[in-house]
């Protein structure tokens, strides 16, 4: 069963789901050599997007989408560069909402894994 085709009533273990990683694009890297991995939990015909995302240690810039996520593992800080908001600390159990267009810098100290819902 592919993670993109989880039938109703079935489960996927988001904490151990294998993710293929890619290096973060050079223009997004702030420090280190971070990579990210991603798996959709539902097919592309679903309204919105639900998935698992992971980032290895390092720092990267990002432009956000409308999203709510729950941190499953890791240790990181998210700085908000636009709009200018206080930084947040990410650790297991933290729930965060992001708005489309926010400009951020993710600094990951311990590989970060989250489950997200985006639209």
Domain total in the chain = 1
Instruction: Find the domain containing 89 and state its range.
Output: 19-118
* Domain-embedded: residue 110: yes
* Domain-embedded: residue 69: yes
The 10s digit of each residue's pLDDT in 82-116 is 999 999 999 999 999 999 999 999 999 999 999 99
Q: How far is Cα 18 from Cα 39, in angstroms, rounded to an integer?
A: 8
Average confidence score pLDDT of the chain: 92
The 10s digit of each residue's pLDDT in 64-79 is 999 999 999 999 999 9
* Domain-embedded: residue 79: yes
Helix (H, G, I), strand (E, B) or coil at 116: strand
**Using 50, 70 and 90 to split pLDDT, how confident is the model at 46?**
low
pTM of the model: 0.91
Residue-level pLDDT at 43: 66
């Amino acid at each position: 069963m592919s993670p993109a085709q989880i039938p109703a009533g079935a489960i996927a273990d988001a904490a151990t789901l294998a993710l293929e990683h890619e290096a973060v694009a050079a223009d997004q890297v702030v420090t280190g050599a971070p990579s990210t991995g991603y798996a959709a939990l539902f097919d592309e015909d679903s309204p919105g997007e639900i998935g698992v995302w992971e980032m290895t240690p390092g720092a990267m810039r990002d432009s956000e989408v409308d999203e709510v996520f729950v941190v499953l593992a890791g240790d990181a800080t998210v700085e908000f560069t636009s709009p200018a908001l206080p930084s947040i600390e990410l650790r297991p159990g933290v729930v965060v909402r992001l708005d489309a267009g926010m400009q951020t810098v993710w600094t990951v100290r311990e590989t970060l894994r989250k489950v997200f819902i985006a639209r």
